[in-house]
Chains A and B, each alone.
Chain A
């Protein structure tokens, strides 16, 4: 079943095209790639797929919902992980987990347990990995159908499936050819 679909989606600002039109299809259990020439464009493309940034042209659908017309319904199905990760200590992480449990109306105790389990399994030794792992754990607080990962590391990609087996994963990356060679994608994507 298709979860995330982009049709000719592009993004421009002040007349300058930042993300060229791209198509994308990600079904349940798939990993789809959005490759962009710069980190800035990759982040914007990822945010477009999560319904956070509205495409200037084209459309992005999450489930049956168009992200421009029905943003809350679309965002309810997506977990988004920003490239910068979650910039906060353990206490801030616990507070943010409780906060998200309230916003997404899920059980707070389950959310804490799940977030801690994801973080413990995914976090690496260095602070950058830990920040990203916290953001990933927070994105998985609600029960999502798709996960949009902004420039994840190989380690994150390898481990995220254990916690989101049937979830469609859309990931952004900087550089086109190198990534396609290095990472086999179940659903190749034109960019």
Chain B
């Protein structure tokens, strides 16, 4: 365990050195025409392995269409939606401590409080996190925070765009963040006795979360001119969106 934290610290140091030239994209208002003139995120984040990435994109696409989607749709027919939602809530709740640490590292103290409250309410009142009582009854909506965002906050650049088998669109920095968040901090991977079990938990989670979003992907893909570019842009736009913690559209935005 001591070794692991030493490695993590070394990695952090490496990143800080790598991030010597800090580039922070200013947020452009969508109502401003310059929003359409260039695309800052994509231009800052190079895609030097486009050939490889396109290959991985095709691999993911084929895997999705022929393996993940059929499995998830069978699964969704067998297991009722509320149970699938409960499973999703359960996994989400287990990761709240990771989000708590990251909100603190991003100096988002109000959000840190929310995450902690959510964790307490859902673990106790939501029977170990199966129900999202905090979100539904108390209005504490899910708060996103991960190591990738923490690194971004402290000026670490994306590095380059990457498409990873099964995981999908990411960048070098984000992949590092997701890996650390997912493997060394999330408690249920520690419960697994072997990597096979860990992989099974991971796949199970993917299938479960996919079963809640069936049809979204095909719908999007059918209407694209270049699905690879469409996904790359969606990835950056969506990520930006989830990281605007002050101006996010929410259900409470009523007149």
Are A and B co-members of a single complex? no
Which residues in B have some Cβ–Cβ distance to A below 8 Å? none
